[in-house]
């Protein structure tokens, strides 16, 4: 049981290496089913349950909760429980579901709290000229945040069984898990700001507003924004080069003025 | 390799591009909310940076450039890597090259390419691979999972490699033409226009903020979020982005900005202000 639990955890850890191998989909349930089947000594059931769970997870899956559970832990523990309890994939998923939901909180917390440590350490290394340090932070950060916790959580969950993990999940206040999801929605604003601050100046700021307005009001997808942006760039710098110096005046004719605050 | 005054040691070789290809496989490993795939991108660019720059300070400046926000479909990230590689090569040889255009081009390409790449790889290829794989796997055959991986990954790795080749080839031929004709300042301006429009459109796409609660009762009740949407769609993501931008402009430490954002998220959820 202990050895099986460790092996289940190792499978969970190893399939996360797919993110270092080209995001090759090795962590999808259809693949993890095979690995868990091998570890648990029932390959055929593993493959069938894995394929069933693959179909469950193929779209956006929300089985009774607000947020979809982690596909990797859900698929792995679902298959493992299906074999260990001898019940079908659907029953196994209801056993695995609390842990997969719990893992979503763990994953959010790791990405939000632990990963920034590696990101900023990497910034510091680059500033010192230690490029190897940055390389280490990239790989180590991925391992500590994505691979290691899945080993720990999957081993533990399989060893302790669902009731214990369910109790842990219920002990976490809802505002903490919701708060992490909400913060995850804010934080891309920081990356966008850092990127924009490298390019933007008074003369070109209007194009940021234009891109925002076209997307927010008209719902134009990114490729459409890029086509319009490319046309504008050509108009401004090739067709009508003289206009570049007076770019800000463009807004007085357009309707994006009211967005500019 | 391409420019006339090139000293051989600083031109990008086939081996360098191979290294970029292999390193690009780790693109998503250190994904984070703040700058997403940036460490993967920087990690992939380092063989190029070490090749084309001699001076430590040039290497540091280039590395910092590629530590900025990056996110696209990982399978075709190599197209942008190839273009960045060509631009870094030009930058190292041409004193007039405006290095800020490197990030403008990245910003202009990453989201539109993600639009194409996501629908091609996630929406199409993955669905085909899953369909083929699952139908066999349901019968208990190991060929199912194998077929799933093969159908998805053989095209994936081939496209990933050719995107790098095309990106680099296109980048070098395009840039040498631009340099000869003295159009570099115009290219820089054009790239900034396009890049900023795409960055502006990232705000509604990537930043999500919505509030809970409603005003009024019964049929006349309106959610606060719908009132805000009535003023301007994606108003809250825009305000959050502008607020964070101000903090960045005032050189507030990034770690503090992160802590503020997380505290707002958790405290706000405690009082039930935000909708998940």
Q: Is residue A79 domain-shared with residue A171, that is, in the same domain?
A: yes
CB atoms < 10 A from the CB of A247, how many? 17
Please state, in angstroms and rounded to a whole number, the distance separating the CA atoms of residues B90 and B67.
19
The reported pLDDT for the residue numbered A8 is: 96
Helix and strand counts by DSSP (H, E) for chain A: 14, 0
Check whether B191 has a pLDDT greater than 80: yes
Closest CA of chain B from A145, distance in Å: 8
Sequence-distant (≥ 6) Cβ neighbours of residue B94 within 8 angstroms? B3, B179, B184
With beta carbons less than 8 A apart as the criterion, state whether A168 and A162 touch. no
With beta carbons less than 8 A apart as the criterion, state whether B201 and A229 touch. no
What the block records as the tokens of B43 is: 């990690």
Check whether B3 has a pLDDT greater than 80: no
- Residue ranges of alpha helices (H) inside B118-209 are 126-137, 143-180, 184-206
Asked, for residue A17, whether it belongs to a domain, the answer is yes
Please state, in angstroms and rounded to a whole number, the distance separating the CA atoms of residues A247 and B18.
42
Q: CB B203 to CB A213 under 8 A? A: no
Q: CB A31 to CB B144 under 8 A? A: no
Q: CB B35 to CB A225 under 8 A? A: no
What share of chain A has pLDDT > 70, as a percent? 88
Q: Is residue A178 domain-shared with residue A242, that is, in the same domain?
A: no
Check whether A166 has a pLDDT greater than 80: no
The reported pLDDT for the residue numbered A147 is: 96
Please state, in angstroms and rounded to a whole number, the distance separating the CA atoms of residues A142 and B9.
33
3-state DSSP helix/strand/coil % of chain B, to nearest 5: 75, 5, 25
pLDDT, tens only, A86-125: 877 777 777 777 788 788 889 988 998 999 999 999 999 9
Best CA proximity match to A187, nearest among B209, B210, B11:
B209
Which residues 43-82 in chain B show a CB within 8 A of chain A? 43, 46, 49-50, 56-57, 59-60, 63-65, 67-69, 71, 74-75
Check whether B73 has a pLDDT greater than 90: yes
Last residue of one domain, picked from the residues A164, A187, A210: A187
Asked, for residue A192, whether it belongs to a domain, the answer is no
Considering its fold, how many domains does chain A have in total? 2
Last residue of one domain, picked from the residues A144, A163, A187: A187
Please state, in angstroms and rounded to a whole number, the distance separating the CA atoms of residues B92 and B178.
16
Query: For residue B169, what pLDDT band results from cuts at 50, 70 and 90?
Result: very high
C-alpha dihedral sign at A32, A38, A39, A42 = positive
Q: Is residue A63 domain-shared with residue A157, that is, in the same domain?
A: yes
Q: DSSP for A91-127?
A: HHHHHHHHHHHHHHHHHHHIIIIIHHHHHHHHHHHHH
The reported pLDDT for the residue numbered A184 is: 82
Asked, for residue A195, whether it belongs to a domain, the answer is no
With beta carbons less than 8 A apart as the criterion, state whether B26 and A142 touch. yes
Q: Residue B101 pairs with which residues in a beta bridge? A: none
Q: Is residue A234 domain-shared with residue A153, that is, in the same domain?
A: no
With beta carbons less than 8 A apart as the criterion, state whether A122 and A138 touch. yes
Q: Is residue A108 domain-shared with residue A22, that is, in the same domain?
A: yes
The reported pLDDT for the residue numbered A135 is: 97
Which residues 133-172 in chain A show a CB within 8 A of chain B? 134-135, 137-139, 141-143, 145-146
The reported pLDDT for the residue numbered A253 is: 39
Which chain A residues are Cβ-neighbours of B71 within 8 angstroms? Answer: 191
Among A54-58, A197-201, A246-250, B232-236, the least confident range? A246-250
Query: For residue A247, what pLDDT band results from cuts at 50, 70 and 90?
Result: very low
Q: Is residue A157 domain-shared with residue A50, that is, in the same domain?
A: yes
Check whether A66 has a pLDDT greater than 60: no
Last residue of one domain, picked from the residues A163, A187, A211: A187
Q: CB B204 to CB A198 under 8 A? A: no
Asked, for residue A14, whether it belongs to a domain, the answer is yes
Check whether A65 has a pLDDT greater than 50: no
Q: CB A134 to CB B276 under 8 A? A: no
Mean pLDDT of chain A: 84
Q: CB A47 to CB B137 under 8 A? A: yes
Q: Could you tell me which residue, B114 or A154, shows the higher pLDDT?
A: A154
Which chain B residues are Cβ-neighbours of A47 within 8 angstroms? Answer: 137, 140-142, 144-145
Query: For residue A61, what pLDDT band results from cuts at 50, 70 and 90?
Result: very low
pLDDT, tens only, B242-260: 999 999 999 888 878 888 9
Q: Is residue A177 domain-shared with residue A245, that is, in the same domain?
A: no
Q: CB A189 to CB B49 under 8 A? A: no
Among A16-20, A86-90, A198-202, A216-220, the least confident range? A86-90
CB atoms < 10 A from the CB of A90, how many? 14
Mean pLDDT of the A227-247 span: 75
Q: Is residue A84 domain-shared with residue A150, that is, in the same domain?
A: yes
What share of chain B has pLDDT > 70, as a percent? 97
Please state, in angstroms and rounded to a whole number, the distance separating the CA atoms of residues A244 and B202.
24
Mean pLDDT of the A195-202 span: 85
Mean pLDDT of the B270-275 span: 89
Asked, for residue A206, whether it belongs to a domain, the answer is yes
Best CA proximity match to B86, nearest among B166, B7, B21, B27:
B166
The reported pLDDT for the residue numbered A67 is: 52
Please state, in angstroms and rounded to a whole number, the distance separating the CA atoms of residues A31 and A25.
8
Q: Is residue A147 domain-shared with residue A253, that is, in the same domain?
A: no
Check whether B77 has a pLDDT greater than 60: yes
Which chain A residues are Cβ-neighbours of B194 within 8 angstroms? Answer: 226, 229-230, 232-233
Mean pLDDT of the A194-211 span: 89
Residue of B nearest to A67 (CA): B276
Distance between first and last Cα of chain A: 62
Mean pLDDT of the A43-69 span: 71
Which residues 11-30 in chain A show a CB within 8 A of chain B? 19-26, 28, 30
Q: Is residue A115 domain-shared with residue A233, that is, in the same domain?
A: no
Asked, for residue A162, whether it belongs to a domain, the answer is yes
What the block records as the tokens of B113 is: 């390419």
Best CA proximity match to B66, nearest among B112, B29, B27, B96:
B27
Q: Could you tell me which residue, A28 or A101, shows the higher pLDDT?
A: A28
C-alpha dihedral sign at A67, A71, A77, A78 = positive
A and B: number of Cβ contacts within 8 A = 382
Check whether A261 has a pLDDT greater than 70: no
Asked, for residue A85, whether it belongs to a domain, the answer is yes
* Residue A68: domain span: 2-187
pLDDT, tens only, B200-224: 998 998 898 989 888 877 777 788 8
Q: Is residue A207 domain-shared with residue A172, that is, in the same domain?
A: no
Asked, for residue A252, whether it belongs to a domain, the answer is yes
Q: Is residue A85 domain-shared with residue A208, that is, in the same domain?
A: no
């Amino acid at each position: 049981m202990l050895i099986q639990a460790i092996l289940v955890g190792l499978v969970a850890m190893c399939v996360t290496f797919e993110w270092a191998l080209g995001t090759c989909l090795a962590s999808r349930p259809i693949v993890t089913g095979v690995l868990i089947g091998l570890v648990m000594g029932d390959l055929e059931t593993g493959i069938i349950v894995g394929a069933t769970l693959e179909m469950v997870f193929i779209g956006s899956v929300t089985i009774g909760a607000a947020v979809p559970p982690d596909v990797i832990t859900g698929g792995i523990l679902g298959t493992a429980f299906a074999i260990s309890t001898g019940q079908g994939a659907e029953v196994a998923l209801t056993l695995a579901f609390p842990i997969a939901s719990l893992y979503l909180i763990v994953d959010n917390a790791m990405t939000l709290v632990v990963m920034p440590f590696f990101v900023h350490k990497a910034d510091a290394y680059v500033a010192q000229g230690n490029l190897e340090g940055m390389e280490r932070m990239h790989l180590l950060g991925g391992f500590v945040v994505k691979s290691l916790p899945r080993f720990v959580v999957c081993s533990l969950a399989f060893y302790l069984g669902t009731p214990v993990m369910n109790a842990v999940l219920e002990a976490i206040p809802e505002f903490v898990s919701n708060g992490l999801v909400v913060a995850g929605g804010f934080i891309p604003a920081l990356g966008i700001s850092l990127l924009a601050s490298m390019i933007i100046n008074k003369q070109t700021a209007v194009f940021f507003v234009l891109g925002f307005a076209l997307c927010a009001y008209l719902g134009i997808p990114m490729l459409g924004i890029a086509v319009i942006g490319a046309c504008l760039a050509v108009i401004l710098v090739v067709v009508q080069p003289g206009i570049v110096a007076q770019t800000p005046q463009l807004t007085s004719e357009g309707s994006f003025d009211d967005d500019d605050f | 390799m391409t420019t006339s005054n090139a000293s051989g040691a600083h031109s990008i070789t086939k081996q360098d591009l191979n290294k970029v290809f292999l390193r690009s496989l780790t693109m998503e490993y250190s994904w984070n909310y703040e700058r997403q795939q940036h460490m993967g991108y920087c990690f992939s660019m380092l063989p190029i940076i070490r090749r084309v720059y001699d001076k430590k300070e040039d290497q540091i400046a280039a590395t910092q450039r590629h530590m900025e926000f990056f996110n696209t479909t990982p399978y075709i990230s190599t197209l942008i890597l190839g273009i960045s590689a060509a631009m870094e090569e030009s930058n190292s040889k041409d004193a007039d090259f405006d290095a800020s255009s490197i990030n403008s081009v990245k910003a202009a390409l990453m989201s539109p390419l993600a639009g194409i790449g996501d629908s091609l790889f996630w929406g199409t290829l993955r669905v085909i691979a899953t369909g083929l794989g699952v139908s066999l796997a349901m019968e208990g055959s190991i060929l199912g999972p194998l077929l799933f991986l093969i159908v998805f990954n053989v095209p994936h790795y081939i496209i990933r490699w050719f995107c790098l080749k095309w990106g680099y080839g296109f980048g070098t031929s395009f840039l040498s033409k631009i340099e000869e004709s003295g159009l570099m300042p115009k290219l820089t301006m054009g790239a900034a226009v396009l890049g900023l429009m795409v960055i502006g459109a990232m705000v509604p796409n990537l930043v999500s903020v919505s509030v809970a609660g409603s005003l009024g009762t019964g049929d006349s009740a309106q959610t606060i979020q719908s009132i805000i949407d009535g003023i301007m769609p994606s108003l809250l993501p825009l305000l959050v982005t502008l607020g964070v931008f101000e903090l960045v402009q005032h050189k507030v430490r990034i770690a503090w900005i992160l802590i503020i954002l997380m505290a707002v998220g958790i405290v706000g959820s405690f009082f039930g202000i935000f909708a998940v």
